[in-house]
Amino acid sequence: MTTTADYRYFLPITTRWMDNDVYGHVNNVTYYSYFDTVANHYLIAEGGLDIHGSPVIGLVVESKCSYHAPVAYPDELRAGLRVDRLGNRSVTYGIAIFTSDGETAAASGYFTHVFVDRETRRATPIPDRMRAALERIRVGE
């Protein structure tokens, strides 16, 4: 069971009407958008990422999501974030989606960023400021 105690950083997520599918709950692919939002929000707010000008950017190379309970518009959610693995050029985040008052995850998973030079798209070391921010939310390895 994945709980809020397993995560180091949280971001409120507001569901939108368009997030629901014809079955009346948030569509599975939308969770990946939530995952991307919390990770990039953290990199911008805490790691100094300038999405328009940073010479180093992160590209998602792998992801997974497991669904545990449905959520639907107009639910207020929280995305939990942690770092499960921190390499020289990549990071794997653990991410979970919780209702605003829930302690167990409605969905949980991971995705991996490989950091690359913006122009050449070649893998490059994670910049120091970003690495320090990622270290702050790192859990065991």
pLDDT at residue 91 tops 80: yes
To the nearest whole number, what is the mean pLDDT of the chain? 97
Task: Please tell me the pTM assigned to this model.
Answer: 0.95
| pLDDT tier at 141, thresholds 50, 70, 90 | low
Q: Where are the domains of the chain?
A: 4-136
Amino acid at 88: N
75 Cβ contact partners less than 8 Å away, ≥ 6 residues apart: 15, 26, 99, 100
- pLDDT for the residue 140: 78
pLDDT in tens, 110-136: 999 999 999 999 999 999 999 999 999
Say which CATH class 4-136 falls into: alpha beta
CA-based radius of gyration for the chain: 15
